[in-house]
A and B are shown apart, each in its own frame.
Chain A
Amino acid sequence: MARNVSTRRKVIVSVAAWAVALLIFFPILWTILTSFKTEGEAVASPPQFLFFHWTLENYFEVQSRSNYFLHFANSVIIAFGSTILGLIVAVPAAWAMAFSPTKRTKDVLMWMLSTKMMPPVGAFIPIYLLFQGFGLLNSQFASRVGMVVVLMLINLPIIVWMLYTYFKEIPGEILEAARMDGASLAKEIIYVLTPMAIPGLASTMLLNIILAWNEAFWTLNLSSVDAAPLSTFIASYSSPEGLFYAKLSAASTMAIAPILILGWFSQKQLVRGLTFGAVK
């Protein structure tokens, strides 16, 4: 009897989970399907789900009309650059807050998080003026640097928070033992802290690469044409030339594919990163 109830329960939970997962995944699936349709089929009513004329035409078209690889390279530079720069800034900050906290440490952390609650557009004009003043809107190089810095800044609170929670999990006694054993601060960080923090650093890096890759507001508004990442590449298919759903979908698919693959292979690390500290 109890067994039946629990089996039925399992079935219901599984069905619900699949339904929710499909619901969340559906827009992506639809985008990918649309990218293989002709423009006509893309807007056909009623929509065609699988039985249409599959074609790669959109992908060739998109590639011939714009330079995917340039935008891909820009995305890589911006996503990885901002994440690495962020880590360089955040590791010492999180280190200090985790291992020698003061009465105000919690407040500082909350304040950092609160900056994420402000709509980005609120800071747009000052940042735009700063970009203009520093000449970051002009050349490809300057614009890439500008994007790296801006995306690093907007993701910094998350990086610091994640690293802080990771570092908190490292027992202070182990670092004290290293100090007793004669390790200088540098050696303590290289031989003891870093190896212990690698899982944390890895998932922090991963999450931030994904966030930076998908970021659209700042990259759309601030990057110069030749420094624009894939978000801008997608956007260029939306309005100016009318609505070309199939091409737009092809561009979107090409833009999200790399990060989707990266995410797929590092699922375990990511989930651990996002739920770290939640259980224990």
Chain B
Amino acid sequence: MGSIVLKKVSKVFGEAKVIPSIDLEINEGEFVVFVGPSGCGKSTLLRLIAGLEDVSGGQILIDGRDGTNLAPAQRGLAMVFQSYALYPHMSVRKNIAFPLKMANMPQADIDKKVADAARVLNLTDYLERKPRQLSGGQRQRVAIGRAIVRQPKAFLFDEPLSNLDAALRVNMRLEISDLHHQLKTTMVYVTHDQVEAMTMADKIVVLNRGNIEQVGSPLELYKSPRNLFVAGFIGSPKMNFVTGAYAQNLGADTIGVRPEHVLLSTTSGDWQGRVNHAEHLGSDTFLHIEADGIGAITARGTGDFPARAGDTVYMTPDKTRIHRFDGNGLAI
């Protein structure tokens, strides 16, 4: 239970075609991440699946049944919102119990399920508190609790971690991944953070201007991006793009090489350049280099690589890991 299929789904707001036409299959039990820059339509797509927006065209199949015109509650999906959307006047217990109460479940069953969910999410001691008395991470867990008690066919997450601080975000990322392993329920997760996408997803859907640029596993997208957009979006820091003679010699309009695939040296290499900025992170060193005849290059070196701003360094791109793109930006 829990497959979602989109067939030629489109969404128009007034004059604006937010989503021209999308086909997508989400398999049962998969953790699918929609990722893309802001305004790419990823949240809209999620809201279409949830039923919070009506589609302008196309079909949404949930478990093989047409759910296009079903009300949100009838789709059997649960959603976790960016703002958590907890009911501020209800205690944590009542928040988590709310969907069960709406389903007219007997009180004894509700109590049991709420207790179970609270245990899984470490909320047992907070059940009588109001949302405003909780920290951001706890609020997020309440929102997740409210979603899991219903035992939905799939979970929809709309940028659930973007209101949390960096450290908490890493924790919650792991918690959500753990939850997925435990429940084995389909999860659809929207984020603009490609690190979240890479670390959590079974399958990533890269969106740009309402279109799917590529669908694949995190490593597929990393190793063989289909076009310049995906190549530039997946990976941090961003892939370096080089045009001109160097690219043409390799039979491409543009070549791309990731910062971690540029070998740095203080003595010799294919390219020579001057360091503009050096970021020493301890584990790694990121150098922002102006390479002669090539352009701006970001390169990753070891933590103790000695370069400072103003130094001359040499770079050699790893030939086996160069991505080649044609004039239309498509991978060759």
Show the binding face of A for B, using Cβ within 8 Å: 171, 173-174, 176-183, 187, 191-192, 195-196
A-chain residues with CB within 8 Å of residue B87 when the two chains form the complex: 174, 177-178, 191-192, 196
| Smallest CB gap from B76: residue in A | A182
B residues near A174, Cβ cutoff 8 Å: 85-88
B103 x A182 contact (CB < 8 A): yes
Question: Does B264 interact with chain A (Cβ within 8 Å)?
Answer: no
Contact across chains for B89 and A195 when beta carbons are under 8 A apart: yes
Contact in complex: A196, B88 (CB < 8 Å): yes
B79 interface hit (Cβ, 8 Å):
yes
- Interface bracket on B: 20 to 34
Q: Are the C-beta atoms of B73 and A181 separated by less than 8 Å?
A: yes
B77 within 8 A of A: yes
The answer on a CB contact under 8 Å between B89 and A181 is: no
CA distance A183 to B104 in the complex (A): 11
25 residue pairs bridging A and B, Cβ less than 8 Å apart? A173-B82, A173-B83, A176-B52, A176-B72, A176-B79, A176-B81, A177-B81, A177-B86, A179-B72, A179-B73, A180-B50, A180-B72, A180-B79, A180-B99, A181-B78, A181-B99, A182-B99, A182-B102, A182-B103, A183-B73, A183-B98, A187-B102, A192-B87, A196-B87, A196-B89
State how many angstroms separate the Cβ of B282 from the closest Cβ of chain A.
40
Select from chain A the residue with minimum beta-carbon distance to B101: A191
Contacts of A173 in B (CB 8 A): 81-83, 85
Report the separation of the CA atoms of residues A195 and B98 in the bound assembly, to the nearest whole angstrom: 14
Report chain B residues within 8 Å CB of A191: 87, 98
A182 to B101, CA, bound (A): 9
Q: Is residue B146 within 8 Å, beta carbon to beta carbon, of the partner chain? A: yes
Q: Residues of B with Cβ closer than 8 Å to A?
A: 50, 52, 71-73, 77-79, 81-83, 85-89, 98-99, 102-103, 146, 150
Q: Is the CB of B81 within 8 A of A181?
A: no
Chain B residues lying within 8 Å of A177, measured Cβ to Cβ, are 79, 81, 85-87, 146
| A173-B81, A182-B103 known, 9 other contacts, Cβ within 8 Å | A173-B82, A173-B85, A174-B85, A176-B79, A179-B73, A180-B52, A181-B78, A187-B102, A196-B87
A27 to B307, CA, bound (A): 82
What A residues does B103 contact at CB under 8 A?
Answer: 182
Q: How far is the CB of A103 from chain B (nearest CB, A)?
A: 9
Q: Contact: B146 with A181, CB < 8 Å? A: yes
- Shortest distance from the beta carbon of B87 to any chain A beta carbon, whole Å: 6
Residues of A with C-beta under 8 A to B88? 174, 196
Of A174, A182, A192, chain B has the most CB atoms within 10 Å of the CB of A182
How far is it, in angstroms, between the C-alpha of A173 and the C-alpha of B86 when the chains are bound?
Answer: 9
B52 near A181 with CB under 8 A, answer no
Cα-based distance from A171 to B163 in the complex (angstroms): 16
